[in-house]
Structure 1
Amino acid sequence: MAVAAAVKLRADATRNRERIIVAAREALLEHGTDAPLDEIAKRAGVGNATVYRHFADRQELSLQVALSVMDRITQRAEEALAQEPDAFDALRRFVHEAADERVGALCPMLSTGFGKGDPRLEEGRIRLEHAIEELMAAGRRSGRLRTDIDVGDVMVAVSQLTRPLPGKHCGSMERFIRRHLQLFVDGLEAPARSELPGDSATFEDLRQCR
């Protein structure tokens, strides 16, 4: 009985941790890195003490949100490439699924000093970069993806399109996201309909913006 009770406690703790991360992701999108911890706890359905029991401080919670989002987006890219018979259709699927994961929650990663030097964040970045680069390389080989874009172009667009607009009455933004994502993906397809200004954006370019 004691073993069963311990297993149940660990399972409950894991669920609480996951709920907190999901709630923090949504709060970070709405309020930025200053999202009140009280609000996060309320959304997760736990007490403030439970939040502090799992995460030492706001920085650690934000880091765990970034790691969680990166991991899920990486999985989306890998699955799309493995499951879709057409590489460009895989990219299209990934863009929409990355939006479902609220990739805009990764924006705190670009803030000055966020997670700097943390090996967990670097490992997650490398895996994410590799997965999306593989997806786009397959799209180029198929001849359907225009050649003058890079990973950073895709991630910037998806991040911006999935961030809520300012103001209290923009809750209906969700219904517009799919339309604008589709417009964006259509613009990725070869042959290119126009010449893009400047150079393509890479992950390295995004890192230099921190």
Structure 2
Amino acid sequence: MTKGSAAVGAATTVQRRAARPRADALRNRERIVTAAREMIVEHGTEVPLDEVARRAGVGNATLYRHFPDRDDLMGYVVLSVMDRIAALVEEALAEDADAFDGLRRFAHAAVDERIGAICPMLSAAFSEDHPDLLATRDRLDSGVRTIMERARAAGQLRDDVTVGDLLVSLTQLTRPLPGTCCVGNDRFVHRHLQLFLDGLRAPARSVLPGEAVTLEALRGC
């Protein structure tokens, strides 16, 4: 190897190391995102960023180094929650032999992500054709559709409910009540969710009024 090629190789290695975030930087980033998600759930999207930094245990400069402004942080929080929910449904599909039990386990895990507090941020954080949003949303849609189709094929899920019906219900169950702290909803969210899931089981005991909720209709709201 010539000195020139060795120098190029060394420079490339340095560039790769510089491009790869350090472990402590990644930990700080995740701590900021976790703190932001918790405070959005508790206080809404206008929570002061210095309070987010304080809860995360980092300085303001560290927060702004990762997220230059509020929109950047809020957008990352939204994508992070959607990605976690998509991972939950994929885990349920991989692990549960009983189709409806997989759907049930996914639904209870998803409400713990407090999507009712996060979903209203979608329109503010992203344009409809943002590539990261489209990719994450398609992954989530596909997983939920698959787990519902599996339960329906097993004769465990009624025929007149859609992916939109399920996602709207999960969102409504985790939406903060006016004048209350969302964290306090823990005492009844899972109880009410189980009542809702029992209503999804086949055979159906009633005819649903109105029209099924489609994902296209939800995106047009």
Aligned to 1:166: 178
Cα distance change, pair 109–125 in 1 and its aligned pair in 2 (3 A): farther
Distance of 1:184 and 1:168 partners within structure 2: 22
Q: What is the letter of the counterpart of residue 151 of structure 1?
A: V
**What percentage of aligned pairs have identical amino acids?**
60
Distance in 2 (CA, whole Å) between partners of 1:109 and 1:200 is: 24
AA of the residue aligned to 2:125: F
Q: In structure 2, how many angstroms separate the alpha carbons of the residues matched to 1:168 and 1:175? A: 13
Kept after mapping to 2: 8 A contact 1:91/1:139: yes
- Structure 2 vs 1, CA of residues 169 and 138 (structure 1 numbering), >3 Å: closer, same or farther? closer
Residue by residue, what CA displacement relative to the aligned partner does 1:59-99 show, whole Å, maximum 9, x if unpaired?
11111111111111111101111111111111001100101
Deviation at 1:23, TM superposition (A): 1.1
Q: Does 1:208 align with 2:220?
A: yes
Tell me, in whole angstroms, the C-alpha distance in 2 between the residues paired with 1:202 and 1:106: 20
Cα gap change, 1:130/1:109 in structure 2, threshold over 3 Å: closer, same or farther? farther
Kept in 1, the 8 Å contact 2:42–2:181? The answer is: no
Task: Show the counterpart of 1:115.
Answer: 126
One-letter code aligned to 2:33: I
Once superposed, what is the RMSD of the aligned Cα atoms? 2.3
Instruction: Give the secondary-structure state (helix, strand or coil) at the position aligned to 1:35.
Output: coil
1:16 touches 1:46 (CA, 8 Å); kept in 2? Answer: yes
Q: Residues 70 and 124 of structure 1 are in contact (CA less than 8 Å); yes or no, is this contact kept in structure 2? A: yes
The alignment partner of 1:34 has SS state of coil
Shift of 1:118: 1.8
- Aligned residue among 32, 44, 52 for 2:64: 52
Aligned residues: 205
State yes or no: 1:68 paired with 2:96.
Answer: no
Q: CA deviation at 1:15?
A: 0.5
- Partners of 1:105 and 1:197 in 2: CA distance: 27
Between the aligned partners of 2:182 and 2:110, the Cα distance in structure 1 is: 21
2:165: which partner in 1? 153
- The Cα of 1:192 is off from its aligned counterpart by 1.4
Q: Given residue 115 of structure 1, which amino acid in structure 2 is its aligned partner?
A: F
Q: 1:55 to 1:171 in 2, by over 3 A?
A: closer
Distance, in Å, in 1 between the alignment partners of 2:41 and 2:184 is: 15
The separation in 1 between residues aligned to 2:28 and 2:165, in whole angstroms, is: 35
Deviation at 1:105, TM superposition (A): 4.1
Q: What is the identity, as a one-letter code, of the residue corresponding to 1:41? A: A
Q: How does 1:1-210 map to 2 (within 5 A)?
A: 10-111=22-123, 113-116=124-127, 117-168=129-180, 171-209=183-221
Structure 1: distance between partners of 2:117 and 2:163: 18
CA contact (8 A) 1:144 1:190 kept: yes
| Deviation by residue 1:74-132 (Cα, 9 ceiling, x = unmatched) | 11101111111111111001100101222224313443x53103211111011111111
Counterpart AA for 2:144? I
The Cα shift of 1:162 comes to 1.6
The amino acid that maps onto 2:147 is L
